[in-house]
Amino acid sequence: MSEQQTVAVIGLGIMGGPMAANLVRAGFTVTGYNRSPQKVERLVEAGGRGAGSVAEAVAEADVIITMLPDSPDVEAVVTGDEGLIAHARSGAIWVDASTIRPDVAVALAEQARAAGLRALDAPVSGGEQGAIDAALSIMVGGEQADFDEVRPVLEAVGKTIVLVGPSGSGQTVKAANQLIVAGTIGLVAEALVFLQAYDVDTDAAIQVLAGGLAGNRILDRKATAMVAGEFTPGFRIDLHHKDLGIVTSAAREAGVAIPLGALTAQLVGATRALGHGDLDHSALMLLIQQLSGRTPR
């Protein structure tokens, strides 16, 4: 396949919008669809084409990317009379970049294959900035041949692009990713509140913690903002809460004990219950401060 191939992008939000724009920039012919027409308009201004329906967007596409909030949204777009499966060309590759349940990913991929399409689950990590910078990490589940064929498309939006196993595996790795990210935010929040309680210089502490075996991306990118009480998203608590539902349910299904993951899910749920669902996931800090009787600085 050459860069002349036609790509459809369904879902032009915080992540899908910049991904579609980067595909245009890389030389692909991109047709976009979104429920709110303003977002389609933005893609057209960036040099893409607009479509009025899923059916219209996918009709001519070699590769179809979906980037939607949750499992039911993906099911709605993919199945049914007006859906992707009904209207995509035979042999087209459907790439689901959404974060959804691994079992739903497997079931939808099977439906798509039965209808003559090919399917990859390809959830991403890296957030809005990663999407804008075309620097996403992409964890892909599906067939090697389909992965190889769609690789130039993924390289236009991501940096670390890895085939991790058969259909559903991308979602499984994304679930593991979300467990580690939320848990690490929790650990860093506990460490910071502990250091604040002992009047330690948190800037100096973050520096030395980041230099040793405790080092992680949350310390590098979020700890200073957490101390300052700045929680502009980024990735919202509401969405991370959804993702922790996916990982706890998938772990339960497989009979795997994730005691720290399960507690993290409870803590993120409690942060949401306190009314912080629209803040960045690092706002887990606010819960730990409240549980410790400490007001944010």
Q: Where in the sequence numbering do the catalytic residues fall?
A: 174
Buried b (16+ CB within 10 A) or exposed e, 95-127: bbbbbbbbbbbbbbbebbbebebbbbbbbbbbb
Decide whether 237 or 247 has the Cβ nearer to its own copies.
247
Counting contacts by CB under 8 A, is residue 274 touching its own copies? no
Tokens of 275: 């009314």
Counting contacts by CB under 8 A, is residue 193 touching its own copies? yes
Is residue 7 classed as helix, strand or coil in its secondary structure?
A: strand
**What stretch of H or E contains 57?**
helix 54-58
CA distances from 53 to 8, 40, 43, 83, 88 (A): 11, 11, 15, 9, 12
Distance of CA 32 to the CA centre of its chain: 19
User: Which residues ranging from 42 to 61 are in contact with its own copies (CB under 8 A)?
Assistant: none
Decide whether 50 or 261 has the Cβ nearer to its own copies.
261
Q: How many residues bind its own copies (CB under 8 A)?
A: 74
Candidates 30-38, 48-56, 62-70, 194-202 — which segment interacts with its own copies by CB under 8 A? Answer: 194-202
Counting contacts by CB under 8 A, is residue 247 touching its own copies? yes
Candidates 55-63, 79-87, 120-128, 142-150 — which segment interacts with its own copies by CB under 8 A? Answer: 120-128
Q: Applying CB under 8 A, which of residues 162, 228, 229, 273 lies at the interface with its own copies?
A: 162
Residue among 26, 75, 33, 24 nearest 52 (CA): 33
Task: Please tell me the number of Cα atoms within 13 Å of 76 on its side-chain side.
Answer: 11
User: Which residues ranging from 69 to 108 are in contact with its own copies (CB under 8 A)?
Assistant: 102
Q: What is the DSSP letter of 236?
A: B
224: Cβ contacts below 8 Å, ≥ 6 apart: 203, 206
Is residue 97 classed as helix, strand or coil in its secondary structure?
A: coil
- The position carrying tokens 């994730």 is 258
**What stretch of H or E contains 25?**
helix 16-25
User: Which residues ranging from 8 to 47 are in contact with its own copies (CB under 8 A)?
Assistant: none
Decide whether 115 or 270 has the Cβ nearer to its own copies.
270
Counting contacts by CB under 8 A, is residue 1 touching its own copies? no
- Least separation in angstroms between residue 131's CB and its own copies is 12
Counting contacts by CB under 8 A, is residue 273 touching its own copies? no
- Least separation in angstroms between residue 172's CB and its own copies is 5
Decide whether 273 or 291 has the Cβ nearer to its own copies.
291
Decide whether 92 or 119 has the Cβ nearer to its own copies.
119
User: Which residues ranging from 198 to 237 are in contact with its own copies (CB under 8 A)?
Assistant: 198-201, 204-205, 207-209, 211-219, 221
Decide whether 1 or 162 has the Cβ nearer to its own copies.
162
Candidates 18-26, 55-63, 80-88, 257-265 — which segment interacts with its own copies by CB under 8 A? Answer: 257-265
